[in-house]
């Protein structure tokens, strides 16, 4: 990975970490309150309104990219961990890479798994009822 890519990943991780802290929320809330309190001083002008609109729009726009980068990396790391667990367990290896299937294929696989889980649950209930009565 290039230095620019490493830098952006590190930056995105740091921003995601900071943006999720209570202090960051309180700081943002205080800035909005300060802006609202300053309204009478600026006579609630269009410029006064434009300041908050522009500021929040720019921050939101940039945060989308930063947080998406962080979420993408987290998702890929989680997928790699799950693939490793599947490959080193008795689970069916057909589940490795299913995140690349299209929506219909995923829905069908999910339906099949739900049916299997229901069947296993019924068998477990039957077994526990048989053990309780026997």
* C-alpha to C-alpha distance for 124 and 95, rounded to whole angstroms: 24
Mean pLDDT over each residue of the chain, to the nearest integer: 88
Distance of alpha carbon 124 from alpha carbon 134, whole angstroms: 15
Contacts for 66 with CB less than 8 Å, ≥ 6 apart: 11, 12, 15, 16
Closest among 81, 69, 59 to 5, alpha carbons compared: 69
**Per-residue confidence (pLDDT) for residue 60, from 0 to 100:** 95
pLDDT at 86: 84
Q: How confident is the model at residue 89 (pLDDT cuts 50, 70, 90)?
A: confident
Q: Which helix (H) or strand (E) holds 80?
A: helix 46-87
pLDDT at residue 5 tops 90: no
CA distances from 68 to 3, 16, 17, 50 (A): 19, 9, 13, 27
At 19-66, the pLDDT tens digits run: 989 999 999 999 999 999 999 999 999 999 999 999 999 999 999 999
Question: Regarding predicted confidence, which is higher, 91 or 38?
Answer: 38
Q: Which of residues 30 and 109 earns the better pLDDT score?
A: 30
Number of Cβ within a 10 Å radius of residue 98: 15
pLDDT score recorded for residue 94: 77
Q: What is the pLDDT of residue 33?
A: 97
């Amino acid at each position: 990975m290039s230095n620019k890519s490493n830098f952006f990943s590190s930056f995105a991780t740091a921003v995601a970490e900071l943006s999720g802290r209570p202090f960051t929320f309180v700081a943002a809330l205080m800035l909005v309150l300060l802006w609202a309190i300053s309204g009478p001083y600026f006579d609630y002008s269009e410029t006064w309104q434009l300041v908050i609109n522009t500021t929040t729009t720019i921050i939101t726009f940039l945060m989308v990219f930063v947080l998406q980068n962080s979420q993408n990396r987290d998702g890929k790391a989680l997928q790699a961990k799950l693939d490793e667990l599947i490959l080193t367990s008795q689970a069916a290896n057909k589940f490795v890479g299913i995140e690349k299937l299209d929506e219909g294929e995923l829905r069908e696989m999910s339906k099949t798994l739900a049916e299997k889980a229901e069947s296993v649950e019924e068998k477990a209930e039957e077994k526990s009822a048989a053990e309780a009565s026997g």
